[in-house]
Amino acid sequence: MNPKLKNIIKKLPDTAGVYIFKDEQGRIIYIGKAKSLRKRVQAYFSHFLSTKTQAMVAKIAEIEYRIAGSESQAQLLEASLIKQHLPIYNISLKDDKSFPLIRITDEEFPAINICRRKKISQQDTSLYLGPYTNAKLLRQALRSIRKIFGFRSCRRLPKKICLYGRINLCPAPCIGKISIEDYQEIIQEIKMFLTSQNEKLIEHLNSKMQLLAKEKRFEEAARIRDQIYALSVIFKSQKTYHDELEDLKNLLGLKKIPERIEAFDVSNLFGKEACGSMVSFYKGVPDKANYRRFRIKTVEKIDDYKMLAEILFRRYSRVIRENLFLPDLILIDGGRSHLLTAQRQLLNLGLKIPLAGIAKDKENIYIPDKAKPIRLDLSTPALNLIRRIRDEAHRFAISYHRLLRKKSLISDE
C-alpha cells in the first residue's frame, strides 16, 4: 500500500458512513457503505481478496468518505450515490436481482414496500430505488421514514383502518383521512429523503410549515415542525460537524480546520486509583478506536498538574517513537494552569501542537497566547463541539476510574 493511502486510512473515523474509491484520473470506481469506515476500508488491503477485488484495489488512488448517522442511513446514501455515479465495480450490485429494492407504486395513494426484483411488464409503472445490500438495515431505514412521514404499505386499500393508521404511522387514505394531493406530496418528500436531497427537503418543509402557520393551521404546522426536527437530527452528522470545526478554527486562530482533536482528562478520588483518559475525535465524530486510558504511575499524591504532565508525556513520546499521526488540536479539561502545564510538556518533547483548555465552571476557553479566557455564547457551534469532546473525555476517564476501583475492591477482598 502506498504511503498516501495508508495515511488516509489511518485518519478514517470509526463510525458509520460511505466510502468512495477513485482512480488516478479522479473517476469513482467503487462506492460502499460501512458500520466502521476505517475497519471496512482496511479490509480491502488484506491478503484474502478475490481476483476481482484485487484488481479494483490496485486502481485505488484516492479515498473519500461521507459520514452517516447510522448504518441503515449509510445504506440509503450508498444506493443514492451508486445510482448517481454508476461506478464500474458496482455493476454487479446494480444488476444482481437478489438484492432488495424499495418499490413505490404508481397509484393515487402509492404504497411503499421492499421487494427482491422488478416486475418486468408494461403494466408495472412503479418506481424502484436501490438495490440495497442489507435487507435488515433497509427495513430499519423504512421504519424511521414511516415514523417521520407516514405511508401505506398494504397491497390493496382496505375498507377499514389498519393498525398503522390507528397509531399514526399511515395517513389512512383508506378511510379518506388525507387527500390525493397531500398524500402525493408526502411521497415526493420521501423520494427526496431516499435520494439524499437533504437541503431541498428541509427547504420544502420549512416553506410548507410557514404557509400552514399563516393559514392558522397550527396543528398541521406543528407536525411539519416535528418532521423538520427529526430530519435535522438525522442530517446533523452529515452537515453541522463541518460548521463546528470551521467555527473552532476561526475562534482559536488556527491555520487549518482541526480534523483530528485529542482531549485529555484526569480522574482520581483522594488520590486513589488515579487515572487519565484521552479521547480522539475525527471531523467532529468520536473515533473510539483511538481512545486511550492511562493508569497514573509516577505521581503518588493528589496533583492534577503532574498527572496531566505524565499522561501527555506517555502519549506523545509514543507518538514520536512509533511515528504516529499528530492531532491538529489538543483539548485540555481545565483552566489556564492546566493549559500551561500541557504546553510545557509538549515543548519538552519538541512538539508544537495547538492547545486549548476549557474550565468546568464558566465554560471559559483558554489558549496559550491570551492571558484572559474567551467567553462564548452558549449557542456558538465551536462551544458545542468543545463541550461534547470535553464531556466524552470526562465520561471515559470516570468509567476507567470506576473499573480500577472495582478491581481494587475485588483484590482487597
Give the β-pairing of 329-333 and 260-269. Answer: parallel
Strand (E) or helix (H) holding 267: strand 260-269
Judgement on whether residues 348 and 386 belong to the same structural domain of the protein: yes
Are the C-beta atoms of residues 72 and 107 closer than 8 Å to each other?
A: no
Domain region containing 388: 260-412
CA-based radius of gyration for the chain: 26
Q: What is the pLDDT of residue 124?
A: 80
Q: Which residues of the chain have pLDDT under 50?
A: 93-97
* Whether residue 123 sits in one domain with residue 76: no
- Same domain? 132 vs 229: yes
The label of the residue with cell 460501512 reads 34
Supply the angle between the helices 180-194 and 71-85 in degrees, to the nearest 10: 90
What single-letter amino acid sits at 79?
A: A
> Do 79 and 107 share a domain, yes or no?
no
Q: Is residue 253 part of a domain?
A: no
d(CA 276, CA 353): 20
**Is 363 part of a structural domain of the chain?**
yes
The maximal CA–CA distance of the chain, rounded, in angstroms, is 81
189, 204 Cβ separation under 8 angstroms: yes
Q: Which of 30, 60, 86 is the last residue of a domain?
A: 86
Whether 284 and 376 map to the same domain: the answer is yes
Domain assignment of residue 163, yes or no: yes
Residue 255 forms part of a structural domain: no
Q: 46 with 76: CB under 8 angstroms?
A: no
The predicted-structure confidence for 91-145, as pLDDT tens digits, reads as follows 654 444 457 889 999 999 999 999 877 776 777 888 888 777 677 778 888 888 9
Same domain, 123 and 188: yes
Last residue of a domain, one of 86, 120, 142: 86
Domains contained in the chain, number: 3
Which of 86, 110, 126 represents a domain boundary (last residue)? 86
| Domain assignment of residue 95, yes or no | no
Q: What is the CATH number of the domain that holds 49?
A: 3.40.1440.10
108 and 208 in a single domain? The answer is yes
55, 110: one domain:
no
